[in-house]
């Protein structure tokens, strides 16, 4: 029976309006602290530019990334002697335009970051919530499981997992997500342990909230700040790990224009054609720096302790 009197309805509207304005105020406060960090704003601009390039690459890249120009093997960048203006950053050993491959590769890297963070965040949050909320044997079991994953160097574990699942970008993403998720589990659990005895959680429980509601609607929204910061760091780690796997021949497979795979293909030319090695690595470095800068800004904006200082 949900009879709502007009007075109660008006109260609900007021509460909803107040909640909306509080959300806007929080966002404004967040942007105020985030924008005070100039590095973070620069990082965000670079990241937005990368996303734009990745999305528009099919239309704005000068060449097809897989097209092999048989008359243009290892052409240097246009400013070097022997360079051609049609290949601004030069071509690789089979005559493919490096700039076009880098533009298309941006989509791979950002896609890897999104998928890996989504998987590890979702699995990590659910596992961490269960661990922190349930406590006892369940908590001990989950935490020991995380300790086991963390006992292996991340890249080694990812390599073995890819060897089991088979080399390829999808399997590499699954492996990296598995390797990264203990950090989310630990963070969520720690936040849940800190929050679960707070008055608002006890009040929600006394008001009859079920376990599911308590975990996901009452506690989780109050644990999100450290998780958002960790998600940003994991995004850059995912890009680096996927590139490392690609470089070792266990990630994206040729002819994919993934940046790590491009580096792997370029290895034998490092002493004769510097551009085939330099630009893909530079693309990885700039992307990861931009994301880490955003991560630093998010930490500054979301950490109340830093806000006070």
Partner 1 sequence: MLRFLLGRLGLLIPTFIGVTFVAFTFIRLLPGDPAELLAGERGISPERKAEVMRQLGFDKPYWQQYLDYILGIFQGDLGTSFSSKKPVLDEFMTLFPATAELALCAIILAVCIGIPAGIFAAVKRGSIADQAIMGTALVGYSMPIFWWGLLLIILFSGVLQWTPVSGRISLLYFFPQVTGFMLIDSLLSGEKGAFLSAVRHLILPSIVLATIPLAVIARQTRSAMLEVLGEDYVRTARAKGLAPKSVIGLHALRNALIPVVTTIGLQVGVLLGGAILTETIFSWPGIGKWLFDSISRRDYFVVQGGLLLIAGIVMMVNLIVDVLYGLINPRIRHN
Q: Which residues of this protein are in contact with partner 1, per CB under 8 A?
A: 39, 144-145, 147-148, 150-156, 159-161, 163-164, 166, 236, 240, 243-244, 247-249, 260, 263, 267, 270-271, 274, 277-278, 280-281, 284-285, 288-289, 292-293, 296, 309
Q: Measuring CA to CA, which residue among 43, 4, 55 is closest to residue 236? A: 43
Q: Which is nearer to partner 1, 223 or 240 (CB)?
A: 240
How near is the Cβ of 228 to partner 1 at its closest, in Å? 19
Please tell me whether the peptide bond between 303 and the residue prior to it is cis, using omega within 30 degrees of 0: no
CB of 259 to partner 1, least distance (A): 8
Cβ–Cβ contacts within 10 Å for residue 225, how many? 17
Any idea which residue has 């006070």 for tokens? 308
**Quick one: which of 41, 47, 95 has its CA closest to 71?**
95
Closer residue to partner 1, CB minimum distance, 62 or 166? 166
Is 81 in contact with 214 (CB distance < 8 Å)? no
Of the candidates 44, 81, 119, the one whose C-alpha atom is nearest the C-alpha of residue 287 is 44
The residue (of 103 and 293) whose beta carbon lies closer to partner 1 is 293
- Minimum distance, C-beta of residue 217 to partner 1, in the bound complex (Å): 32
Which residue, 220 or 243, has its beta carbon nearer to partner 1? Answer: 243
Quote the least distance from Cβ 205 to partner 1, whole Å. Answer: 28
If the CB atoms of residues 70 and 308 are measured against partner 1, the closer one turns out to be: 308
In terms of CB distance, is 22 or 160 closer to partner 1? 160
| Shortest spacing between CB 247 and partner 1, in angstroms | 5
Min dist. Cβ of residue 292 to partner 1 (A): 5
CA-based angle 146:150:155, to the nearest 5? 130
Which string of DSSP letters, residue by residue, matches 175-233?
Answer: HHHHHHHHHHHHHHHHHHHHHTTSHHHHHHHHTT--HHHIIIIIIGGGGHHHHHHHHHH
Closest CA to 134 of 54, 211, 202: 211
């Amino acid at each position: 029976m949900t009879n709502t009197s007009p007075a109660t309805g008006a109260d609900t509207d007021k509460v909803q309006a107040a909640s909306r304005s509080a959300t806007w105020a929080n966002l404004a406060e967040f942007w105020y602290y985030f924008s005070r960090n100039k590095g973070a704003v620069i990082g965000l601009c670079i990241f937005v530019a990368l996303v734009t390039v990745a999305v528009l690459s099919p239309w704005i890249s000068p060449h097809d990334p897989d097209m092999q120009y048989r008359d243009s093997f290892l052409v240097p960048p246009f400013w070097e002697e022997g360079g051609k203006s049609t290949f601004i950053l030069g071509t690789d050993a089979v005559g493919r335009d490096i700039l076009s491959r880098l533009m298309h590769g941006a989509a791979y890297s950002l896609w890897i970051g999104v998928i890996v963070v989504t998987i590890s965040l979702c699995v990590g949050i659910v596992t961490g919530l269960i661990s922190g909320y349930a406590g006892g044997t369940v908590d001990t079991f989950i935490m020991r499981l995380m300790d086991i994953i963390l006992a292996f160097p991340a890249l080694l574990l990812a390599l073995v997992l890819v060897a089991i699942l088979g080399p390829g970008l999808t399997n590499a993403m699954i492996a990296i997500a598995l390797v990264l998720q203990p950090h989310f589990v630990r963070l969520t659990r720690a936040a849940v342990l800190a929050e679960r005895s707070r008055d608002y959680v006890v009040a929600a429980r006394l008001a009859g909230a079920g376990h599911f509601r308590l975990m996901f609607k009452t506690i989780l929204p109050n644990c999100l700040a450290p998780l958002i910061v960790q998600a940003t760091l994991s995004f850059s780690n995912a890009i680096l790990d996927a590139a490392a796997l690609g470089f070792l021949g266990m990630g994206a497979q040729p002819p994919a224009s993934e940046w790590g795979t491009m580096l792997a293909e370029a290895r034998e030319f490092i002493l004769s054609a510097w551009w085939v090695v330099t630009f893909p690595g530079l693309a990885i470095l700039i992307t990861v720096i931009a994301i880490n800068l955003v991560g630093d800004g998010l930490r500054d904006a979301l950490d109340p302790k830093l806000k006070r200082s």
